[in-house]
Amino acid sequence: MPRSQSEVRPAHSQWGDWRWQMQNRIHSADALEDWIDPTDDERAAIEKTSDVFRWNVTPYYAQLMDPTDPSCPIRRQVVPTTDELAGDIVDELDPLDETGHSPVKNLVHNYEDRVAFCVTAECAVYCRYCLRKRMVGDASYFMRTDEHQAAIDYIAEHDEIRDVLLTGGDPLTFNEDNLEWLLSRLRAIDHVELIRFGTRMPVKLPYRITEDLCDLLERYHPIWINTHFNHPKELTDEAAAAIDRLKQAGVPVGNQTVLLEGINDDPDTMKALNEGLVRMRVRPYYLYQAQVIGGTAHMRTPIEVGMHLMRRLRGRTSGFAIPTYVLDTPHGKVPLNRSYVKGRAGAYVLMETYDGTLWAEPNPVPDGMKPPLQLPTVECPADVDTIPIRKEVTGAETNEEEPTAPVSAGEGGAGAGRSLE
């Protein structure tokens, strides 16, 4: 039987040491039994997905999981299930064509004035819906010092770049010495005005937000952090304390949530999450539509669900507690509202990006589901940009309105292939 929280914490004098947490991550079915009662499906998935996508969980995050409920919103984010092996509408692992927009290793330059610098492929925990599941945990995406320097040299040579996002993987898996090496070199570049971090450490391992880290960040302002809370259960006292340490160091903190089926795709949960974030002085920034990445169909929702959810939030909570609902595309982020969304074309949702490109997002409505909001029925132009779907999986061949001559994500012109920002 899994142990209770009270049984676990006193047994480990180093519980609050982030390095101990990293060294003692759970990554086997046997180890998982100390925390939950794994179902037969979870046991099978742990074995069968081992060659597909790495998994591990920090003890801190494991103790947030319901030990007996496999539908627990914490558990579903991090414990594999065999749904990941079911047929999906795509085999895509790089839907934003980040690889095609990387002039040097792990540096994604899509928007003119900013770059996403994937400084590591390591994470404290591997989220099952991860945007970068193609790279996280893969040794070939880890970077040597000379590769980091090559990316820094590229930034220095391009004076249009004013904003650098340090992401990964999770950049806060680096120790302070490695972080200072990066920050000092970026700060030496005159045209770099802003350095941002994208990290889930306040959520999955809040003990990483140490006083030493905060002192380091304070020396290299302006520094901003965006983190990634998905559910109110993640808003713990430890997380709040980590956020407070960042705020005391003068670091503004925003939050990027991913809309996930059965986890946070209802107005009450989203309202509770965002109001809890505001109480912690974290600004809800983006609500992301989950990316079309192979093996994640069971976690994605129809776009109409998210649009309906946003309507339900408006007027029912503080305006600054409402994030912007967006979809990341190879042509940039698209706000998912009627100013940009044109309508539904069978298994696709047609929208216009900031640069005027028409994008058709593969987003079928599950059989038997009546969306809570109806989009107009539209036809897609033959040259619309999209990710072609596997019709044999979805049955989408019955949709007469689907794009008839899709362009691959890498062929959409200068705007194609953007990064998570």
- Classify burial at 51, counting beta carbons within 10 Å of its beta carbon; exposed 0-12, middle 13-18, buried 19 or more: exposed
Q: Which two tokens stand for residue 341?
A: 């969304």
Q: Where are the extended beta strands (E) located within 150-300?
A: 163-167, 194-198, 223-227, 253-259, 283-289
Q: Chain centroid to CA 75: how far?
A: 16
Residue 268: Cβ within 10 Å count: 10
Dihedral sign for Cα atoms in the order 132, 137, 138, 144: positive
In 3D, which of 7, 19, 250, 262 has the Cα closest to residue 128?
A: 262
Per-residue pLDDT tens digits of the chain, which is 421 residues long: 554 454 555 457 999 999 999 999 999 999 999 999 999 999 999 999 988 888 999 999 999 999 999 999 999 999 999 999 988 898 778 888 888 889 999 999 989 999 999 999 999 999 999 998 888 888 888 999 999 999 999 999 999 999 999 999 999 999 999 999 999 999 999 999 999 999 999 999 999 999 999 999 999 999 999 999 999 999 999 999 999 999 999 999 999 999 999 999 999 999 999 999 999 999 999 999 999 998 999 999 999 999 999 999 999 999 999 999 999 999 999 999 999 999 999 999 999 999 999 999 999 999 999 999 999 999 999 889 999 887 665 444 434 444 543 333 333 333 333 322 3
Report in angstroms the alpha-carbon separations of 94 from 127, 132, 245, 292, 303.
Answer: 16, 7, 35, 9, 20
Handedness of CA 44, 47, 52, 56 (dihedral sign): positive
* pLDDT for position 138: 83
Ranges assigned E (strand) in 290-357: 324-329, 332-335, 341-345, 348-352
* Domain 99-337: which CATH number of 3.40.50.1820, 3.20.20.70, 1.10.1740.10, 3.30.70.100: 3.20.20.70
Rounded to whole angstroms, how far apart are CA atoms 25 and 397?
44
The reported pLDDT for the residue numbered 407 is: 37
pLDDT of residue 31: 95
The sheet that has 341-345: what strands, in order across it? 341-345, 348-352, 358-362, 385-386
Residue whose tokens read 């058709």: 360
Q: Is-cis flag, bond preceding 332, omega within 30? A: no
- Measured distance between the N- and C-terminal CA atoms of the chain, rounded to whole angstroms: 41
C-alpha span between 272 and 211 (Å, rounded): 29
Helix axes 237-248, 211-218, angle to 10 degrees: 30
For residues 51 and 371, what is the distance between their CA atoms, to the nearest angstrom?
35
Q: Where in the chain is the domain with CATH 3.20.20.70?
A: 99-337
Nearest to 284 by CA among 235, 348, 341: 235
Q: Indicate the burial class of 314 (C-beta count within 10 angstroms; 0-12, 13-18, 19 or more).
A: exposed
Question: pTM for this one?
Answer: 0.90
Neighbours of 316 (CB within 10 A): 11
Q: What is the model's pLDDT at position 101? A: 84
Per-residue model confidence (pLDDT) at position 8 = 53
Angle at the Cα of 52 from the Cα atoms of 50 and 55, rounded to 5 degrees: 55
pLDDT for position 394: 47
Separation of alpha carbons 200 and 78, rounded Å? 13
pLDDT at position 67, please? 97
CA atoms within 13 A on the CB side of 5: 7
Angle at CA of residue 50, ends 165 and 104, nearest 5°:
30
Angle at 171 between CA 170 and CA 175, to 5 degrees: 120
Strands (E), 160-250: 163-167, 194-198, 223-227
pLDDT of residue 52: 84
Strands, sheet with 107-108, edge to edge from the N-terminal-most edge strand: 107-108, 114-118, 163-167, 194-198, 223-227, 253-259, 283-289, 324-329, 332-335
